[in-house]
C-alpha cells in the first residue's frame, strides 16, 4: 500500500476514475432509455458494475456497466413480457455466468468466432441507430429494426410538420452528434481524456435550459433508492417460466461473449496484469445476479469505458471502483441536474455510438483471414437486422460452422491412367458429404471395363455418406465389367476415426 501511494498510482487511478465516470454517466442513462427502461435502472447497473464487479473482476482495468449490445434484447423482452420480467431473466443469466466461471468455462466462451461477434455488434449498432433516430425526434421507437427504418420517413414528416417537440428535439440530437464529431476531429492532445459525449451533454443541456426550448427531459427520481424493485412472490414464480429461462440463457451467452472479447481487447491495450477469464466470468455473474435482484439493467464489460480507463492511465482496479462511487454520489446528491438533460441528447450519443459499432471497414480486415470470414460477418449482421438478435446470432453460428465444414472437407482427387483399362485415384484430405457430388461426377466418367484403384494412404477422414457412395459404385461396377480396388478395412477405420494401422496389418 505504501508503494501504491509512493509511485503515484493513486493519482493515476483517481484521474482515470473521473474520466470513466464522465464517459459512463450519459451512457448509463442513454442505454436505459434505449432499452425501454427508466434512466435510473442504467445508473444502478453502472454503480454495481463499478463498485462490486470492479472489486472482484478478473480484468483489473475493464469497466462493467449497462451495454448498448444488450439494449436490443432488453427492449424486446420488456415489450413482450413487461419490465417486471427483466429482473428474473438477469438473475438467471447471472447464475449461469457464475456457475460457468466456477467450471472454468471462460475460455470456452471465447471460442465464438470473432466474425460472428463482430457481426453481432454491427447488427446491434444498426438496430440502435434505427430505434434512436425516432427518440432523436421525441418519438417512440418500434419493436423491430426494419419496422423502425420503414417508419422513419413518416416520423420525420410528423416531426417537421407536427405541433409537438419533434423539430426542437431533432435539432438537439443533431447538435449533440455534431459536437461529438467535431471534438473527435479537433480536440487538443492535452484534452484527449475529456469525452466528447460530456461536452455535448453539458453544452446542449445548457442551451436548452437557458433558451427555454421545449423538449422531453430525462426522468430521474429524487431518491435513487425508490428505483429499486426487490423480488416478490410473483417475481420468484417467473424464475421457472421456460420462456424467461431461455431468455436468461441467451442473455448469459451474449453478455459473456461480449465481456470476454472486450477483456481480451483491453489486455492488448496495456502491459499490466492479464485477465483471469474464469474469474471475470464469475464476477459478471455476481454483478448480474445483484442487478436482477435490484430491478436494474444487465451488465457486460464495456469496451468504450474500458478503453477510456486505460487511456487515462489507470493503474489498478481502484479506478473502476471509484468511478462507480462517483456515479452513486452524483445520482444521490444531484438528481435535479440530470433531470435537465434532454432525452434527444442521449439519443444523439447512442446514434453516434451505434454508427461506430457498425464499422463496415471491418469487412476488409476480416477478409484478410479469408473471404468466408467476411461473409460470416455480413450474414450475421444482416440476419440480426432482418430478424432478431438471437435468431441472427444462431444464423451467424450456422454460417460459421458451414464455413468450417467447407474448410475441413478439402479433398484433392488425383486421377492417374496407369494402363489402358486401369485408373488410379489418389485421395488426399477429408472425404465428407460435401465432396460426394464431386466424387460422384468423377466416378461417372470412369468407362466400363475399368479397374479403379483408390489410394487412401493420405486420406485423413471419410464419413458415412462418402463411404456409402463408394460401396454403391462398387456394387454397380460388376455389371459394367469394372472393379473397385481399395483397402476396405483401412477405409472403414478412417470412417470411424480410428488410428490407422500399418498397411501390412490392415491387409492381413
Q: What is the pLDDT of residues 89-139, one digit of tens each?
A: 999 999 999 999 999 988 776 667 788 888 888 888 898 888 889 989 988
Q: pLDDT tens across 276-306, in order? A: 999 999 999 999 999 999 999 999 998 878 8
At residue 324, does pLDDT exceed 60?
yes
Give 413's strand partners.
427
Q: What is the pLDDT of residue 162?
A: 78
Nearest to 136 by CA among 176, 100, 104: 176
At residue 498, does pLDDT exceed 60?
no
Give 484's strand partners.
452
Give the pLDDT band of residue 1 (cuts 50, 70, 90): low
Mean pLDDT (whole number) for 426-441 = 87
Nearest to 131 by CA among 247, 30, 29: 30
Q: What is the pLDDT of residue 10?
A: 85
At residue 504, does pLDDT exceed 50?
no
Q: pLDDT tens across 352-383, in order? A: 888 888 888 888 888 888 888 899 999 999 99
Q: What is the mean pLDDT of the chain?
A: 87
Cα angle for residues 462, 474, 481 (degrees, 5° grid): 150
Helix runs in 57-136, H state only: 68-81, 86-102, 106-109, 114-135
> What is the Cα–Cα distance from 349 to 108, expressed in whole angstroms?
33
Contact residues for 44 (Cβ-Cβ < 8 A; gap 6+)? 224, 227, 228, 291, 294, 295, 296, 297
For the entire predicted model, the pTM comes to 0.76
Nearest to 61 by CA among 321, 242, 291: 321
At residue 467, does pLDDT exceed 80?
yes
Give the pLDDT band of residue 508 (cuts 50, 70, 90): very low
Q: What is the pLDDT of residue 322?
A: 95
Q: What is the pLDDT of residue 497?
A: 58
Q: Do residues 393 and 378 touch, judged by C-beta distance below 8 A?
A: no
Domains of the chain, earliest start first? 2-357 (no CATH), 409-507 (3.30.750.24)
Q: pLDDT tens across 181-212, in order? A: 999 888 887 777 677 888 898 999 999 999 99
Q: How far is CA 468 from CA 302, 328, 431, in A?
A: 51, 67, 12
Cell of 62: 475493464
At residue 506, does pLDDT exceed 50?
no
Q: Specify the higher pLDDT residue, 76 or 121.
A: 76
Minimum mean pLDDT range among 73-82, 194-203, 490-499: 490-499
Nearest to 251 by CA among 71, 431, 107: 71
Q: What is the pLDDT of residue 54?
A: 95
Q: What is the pLDDT of residue 388?
A: 77
**Neighbouring C-alpha atoms within 13 Å toward the C-beta of 485:** 11
At residue 271, does pLDDT exceed 50?
yes
Q: What is the pLDDT of residue 337?
A: 87
Q: What is the pLDDT of residue 89?
A: 96
Contact residues for 434 (Cβ-Cβ < 8 A; gap 6+)? 405, 406, 409
Give 301's strand partners.
64
Helix (H) or strand (E) holding 458: strand 451-462
Amino acid at each position: 500500500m505504501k508503494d501504491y501511494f509512493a509511485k503515484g498510482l493513486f493519482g493515476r487511478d483517481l484521474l482515470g476514475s473521473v474520466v470513466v465516470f464522465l464517459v459512463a454517466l450519459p451512457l448509463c442513462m442513454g442505454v436505459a432509455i434505449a432499452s425501454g427502461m427508466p434512466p435510473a435502472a442504467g445508473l444502478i447497473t453502472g454503480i454495481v458494475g463499478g463498485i462490486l464487479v470492479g472489486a472482484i473482476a478478473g480484468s483489473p482495468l475493464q469497466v462493467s456497466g449497462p451495454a448498448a449490445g444488450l439494449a436490443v434484447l432488453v427492449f424486446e423482452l420488456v415489450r413482450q413480457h413487461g419490465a417486471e420480467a427483466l429482473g428474473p431473466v438477469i438473475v438467471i443469466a447471472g447464475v449461469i455466468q457464475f456457475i460457468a466461471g466456477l467450471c472454468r468455462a471462460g475460455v470456452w466462451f471465447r471460442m465464438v468466432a470473432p466474425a460472428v461477434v463482430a457481426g453481432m455488434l454491427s447488427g446491434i449498432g444498426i438496430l440502435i441507430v434505427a430505434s434512436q433516430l425516432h427518440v432523436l425526434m421525441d418519438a417512440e421507437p418500434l419493436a423491430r429494426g426494419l419496422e423502425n427504418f420503414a417508419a422513419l420517413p413518416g416520423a420525420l414528416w410528423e416531426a417537421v410538420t407536427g405541433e409537438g417537440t419533434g423539430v426542437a428535439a431533432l435539432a438537439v440530437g443533431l447538435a449533440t452528434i455534431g459536437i461529438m464529431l467535431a471534438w473527435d476531429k479537433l480536440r487538443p492532445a492535452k484534452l484527449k481524456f475529456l469525452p466528447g459525449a460530456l461536452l455535448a451533454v453539458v453544452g446542449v443541456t445548457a442551451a436548452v435550459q437557458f433558451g427555454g426550448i421545449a423538449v422531453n427531459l430525462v426522468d430521474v427520481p429524487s431518491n435513487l433508492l425508490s428505483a429499486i424493485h426487490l423480488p416478490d412472490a410473483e417475481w420468484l414464480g417467473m424464475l421457472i417460466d421456460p420462456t424467461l429461462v431461455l431468455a436468461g440463457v441467451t442473455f448469459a451467452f451474449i453478455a459473456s461473449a461480449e465481456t470476454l472479447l472486450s477483456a481480451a481487447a483491453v489486455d492488448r491495450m496495456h502491459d499490466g496484469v492479464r485477465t483471469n477469464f474464469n474469474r471475470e466470468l464469475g464476477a459478471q455473474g455476481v454483478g448480474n445476479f445483484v442487478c436482477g435482484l435490484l430491478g436494474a439493467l444487465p451488465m457486460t464489460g464495456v469496451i468504450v469505458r474500458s478503453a477510456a480507463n486505460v487511456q487515462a492511465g489507470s493503474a489498478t482496479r481502484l479506478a473502476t471502483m471509484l468511478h462507480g462511487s462517483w456515479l452513486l454520489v452524483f445520482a444521490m446528491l444531484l438528481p435535479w441536474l440530470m433531470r435537465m438533460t434532454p432525452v434527444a441528447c442521449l439519443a444523439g450519443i447512442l446514434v453516434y455510438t451505434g454508427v461506430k459499432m457498425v464499422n463496415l471497414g471491418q469487412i476488409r480486415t476480416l477478409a484478410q483471414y479469408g473471404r468466408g470470414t467476411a461473409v460470416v460477418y455480413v450474414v450475421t449482421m444482416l440476419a440480426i437486422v432482418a430478424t432478431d438478435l438471437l435468431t441472427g446470432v444462431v444464423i451467424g453460428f450456422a454460417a460459421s460452422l458451414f464455413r468450417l465444414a467447407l474448410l475441413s472437407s478439402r479433398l484433392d482427387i488425383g486421377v492417374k491412367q496407369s494402363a489402358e483399362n486401369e485408373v488410379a485415384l489418389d485421395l488426399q484430405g477429408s472425404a465428407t458429404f460435401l465432396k460426394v457430388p464431386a466424387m460422384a461426377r468423377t466416378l461417372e466418367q470412369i468407362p466400363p471395363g475399368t479397374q479403379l484403384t483408390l489410394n487412401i494412404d493420405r486420406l485423413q477422414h471419410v464419413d458415412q455418406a462418402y463411404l456409402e457412395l463408394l460401396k454403391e459404385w462398387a456394387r454397380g461396377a460388376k455389371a459394367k465389367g469394372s472393379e473397385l480396388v481399395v483397402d476396405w478395412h483401412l477405409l472403414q477405420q478412417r470412417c470411424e476415426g480410428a488410428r490407422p494401422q500399418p498397411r501390412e496389418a490392415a491387409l492381413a
